[in-house]
Structure 1
């Protein structure tokens, strides 16, 4: 099992002659005005967990959108700030966070518009129609150019590895390579890649494909997504595909298409779940929710139409209809984090979820018991770990997901080797975890309900066997293995070019 220390040593060894630059929309540290002073917060993010130690080890640069309301007050004239905040320990490694600014109109077009009204539903194929507006596209192009300018300003005259994150920057590799063809550029696409028939409706599909093919390495979670991408290239643009090598040749340049399943920091989660802070939160929730003698189903999702929250509630409804003996004996605690509320589809979904929860609780509640507890309040890290500990089963019912790290976090948190993972076949994690999890099709309500019943009635011995297997898989394939494989491939590619 690779550790954070292993990763840092690899980064120092392999990346010592290059400036390592990470690019993402979300920043690893955010400055906000809070309680009359400026505070630096680290957002909860698996990506930050993986990449922060690498950038620290290399004294690299992280380029991201400056979204905090105090971000501008702490940067220098070139919009840079050293992170993490300094402590009394002078040996604390630091790196440069370069912030890129955008107006509300630009953010609305680039982020809420083209990225999340266009590319997000296009790639997830969750029966929400993508919206493509020319004005949004122009903002997307301009913001990608702005990020390219910011990166080029920071790496002027230096050898650099550029590691780009996600669907917000499909054009960025091309803009970088046009100015600096010597750069090594890799990109990881954190969401699914759809089949060619779905992708072909995008008005600017060729621009996106040519932008992505400017990468030296393009990574996806699953081989299935890699194959979809290659099929899309085959249908849409003139390029030569080497299916044995999994690469695309266009204009004399080769782009390697690779599968890198992302994961979580197993060791850190497994250790932290036994902390006093988590134990205190666990006791607090036991009293608050009265889980005594009840089978607890736990859902942790953003309120997003890809997450299958409505389908989860419908399956619970069907379970209680078919098996009324479970009334009063089970409870679904659903944490729903509000997301992209500026987009109408998300507002509508939020209303639908509220209405269905109210309907189920009216239909089945008795003697102070209700089948669903829906909470939208923000939870910190310890509170989430406490709820993982309290749950008898974690239910992940995604209609489409690149990976889904909730499933892996739940497994990593179960040091007691107990608990059941109910996992959608449409979450990328199901490819790794199918032998230990109970796999569902969230569209099949009756089968979903029967799977809930199977989880409730599962003998403890079987639960422990399944969880032990799941923990071995997640421990071995942790977040540090993910980024280490990407770094090793980038370095190998560089060496082959020399």
Structure 2
């Protein structure tokens, strides 16, 4: 049995408990490499004397539920190891081979294997077994992302009556695709054990509402103020657009390391215009389409050859999944082909890097780039778009080219919005960005920077937590306790 909260000496007071697949609370925030989300959640956990719970990233031969408790810069972290089978079926399988492609409208890549679903259910139940004894009566619980969609249900089955909120960091799919998922109804039903469900955009909230109201097997009702009723329960939903840690990012941009990186990139550009793309290696990011659009630009504008280059930073991810191995091979070949076709003795059109950079380094890179290319085929908010804007020189800002299928597009209409599936449209947008007059660039940047500041990650965090805290809890589910236990 997992240890109780008494064994760890937790005081009887209200706390915020954050739950996610991996715990990203920074061990050393001063290092400058932690992301804005991790910094914001860490600040909230310090404020509320909270706890961050998740998988350790390690595997054991047999699951025991033993917790590893750490203090990371004032944040209490509780980590649990999983079995290799759990990782294969829950994480590599259902999360990344089933849900991820489905949520990004790639049902052609989704693997609907029964063992994956069983592993997902088993692992979420194991997380709940370990977490439930740590929860105090006044705690509020904030669960993050598609790895843990049924976690509230599993906690309710273990007697947890606290307020539980959920935030989805990815898009939600259209109903016609969601129903291709075996047991889709059961998965959505489990989400009605949350008190609050948050989405980045109105579009994705509306898609969730459409499924609940239109799917015959659900027959749900749309209630006022974005509440939903189905399965004998009600849940509050809302739009909570995430942002970046603006002040932290500006501090990283202006740091010694950030300025030094900017100087290096400006010098390496050698009086050429640099464009930048920063994306984790993933088929949802539109990387192949971006390179093809850039190739179209070089074909359409021979006078621009030698005057511009693309720095594409693409850290490798999920290299245990076949799909990601395949896209890496294709991108390597595509970048090589474009360089081979267009490069000259003193110019290479693409610098393609498979490595990770610190936040202060990225800030310097963004600042040196005349154009920021953020062109996913379907994406969550995509904070690179907001980071690029925040990094710019107000007196000479660059131009953001943004996919209309990124969550950020709903807020950032002053960017050059493009259809990333059209190489001609992307080519035209690149040309327009490179030739845009200074006055127009400054006007667009000022508007975009206002959006970035008004959606700071701390505002997102506090808005969600305060909304969750305000929800009246006891009636939602007590009448259905027997149904949940069934």
In the TM superposition, residue 226 of structure 1 has moved relative to its aligned partner by 1.0
What is the alpha-carbon distance in structure 2 between the residues aligned to residue 95 and residue 339 of structure 1? Answer: 27
Please provide the CA RMSD for this pair: 2.4
Matched, 1:101 2:81: yes
Q: Deviations over 1:145-180 (max 9, x none)?
A: 01111211211x532211000000111110111222
111-120 or 170-179, which deviates more: 170-179
Listed as ranges, the gaps of 5+ residues in structure 2 are 1-11, 477-486
What is the alpha-carbon distance in structure 1 between the residues aligned to residue 108 and residue 406 of structure 2? Answer: 18
Match of 1:135 in 2: 115
What is the alpha-carbon distance in structure 2 between the residues aligned to residue 22 and residue 452 of structure 1? Answer: 41
Q: How does 1:96-495 map to 2 (within 5 A)?
A: 96-126=76-106, 128-155=108-135, 157-234=136-213, 235-287=215-267, 290-416=268-394, 418-434=397-413, 436-494=414-472
**8 Å contact kept, 1:171–1:211:** yes
Q: Deviations over 1:23-48 (max 9, x none)?
A: 001112478xxxxxxxx999733321
**8 Å contact kept, 1:30–1:67:** no
What is the alpha-carbon distance in structure 1 between the residues aligned to residue 52 and residue 406 of structure 2? Answer: 29
What is the alpha-carbon distance in structure 1 between the residues aligned to residue 163 and residue 266 of structure 2? Answer: 51
Match of 2:7 in 1: none
Query: Between Structure 1 and Structure 2, how many residues are aligned?
Result: 459
Q: Deviations over 1:70-101 (max 9, x none)?
A: xx9xxxx952323225xxxxxxxx33211121
**8 Å contact kept, 1:19–1:158:** no
What is the alpha-carbon distance in structure 2 between the residues aligned to residue 143 and residue 429 of structure 1? Answer: 32
What is the alpha-carbon distance in structure 2 between the residues aligned to residue 148 and residue 496 of structure 1? Answer: 20
The secondary structure found in structure 2 opposite 1:366 is coil
**8 Å contact kept, 2:314–2:356:** no
In structure 2, relative to structure 1, the CA distance for the partners of 1:178 and 1:236 (3 Å cut) is farther
Q: Deviations over 1:364-385 (max 9, x none)?
A: 1112211100011221222111
Listed as ranges, the gaps of 5+ residues in structure 1 are 1-15, 32-39, 86-93
The secondary structure found in structure 2 opposite 1:443 is coil
**8 Å contact kept, 1:28–1:43:** no
In structure 2, relative to structure 1, the CA distance for the partners of 1:84 and 1:415 (3 Å cut) is farther
What is the alpha-carbon distance in structure 2 between the residues aligned to residue 126 and residue 313 of structure 1? Answer: 20
368-377 or 249-258, which deviates more: 249-258
Match of 2:72 in 1: 84
What is the alpha-carbon distance in structure 1 between the residues aligned to residue 446 and residue 440 of structure 2? Answer: 10
What is the alpha-carbon distance in structure 2 between the residues aligned to residue 106 and residue 221 of structure 1? Answer: 29
The secondary structure found in structure 2 opposite 1:302 is coil
**8 Å contact kept, 1:171–1:207:** no
What is the alpha-carbon distance in structure 2 between the residues aligned to residue 273 and residue 47 of structure 1? Answer: 17
In structure 2, relative to structure 1, the CA distance for the partners of 1:136 and 1:127 (3 Å cut) is closer
In structure 2, relative to structure 1, the CA distance for the partners of 1:446 and 1:21 (3 Å cut) is same
Q: Deviations over 1:192-214 (max 9, x none)?
A: 11111000010121221111111
Matched, 1:65 2:61: no
What is the alpha-carbon distance in structure 1 between the residues aligned to residue 210 and residue 430 of structure 2? Answer: 37
The partner residue of 1:44 within 14, 30, 34 is 34
The partner residue of 1:18 within 4, 8, 14 is 14
Q: TM-score, normalised by structure 1?
A: 0.87
The secondary structure found in structure 1 opposite 2:225 is coil
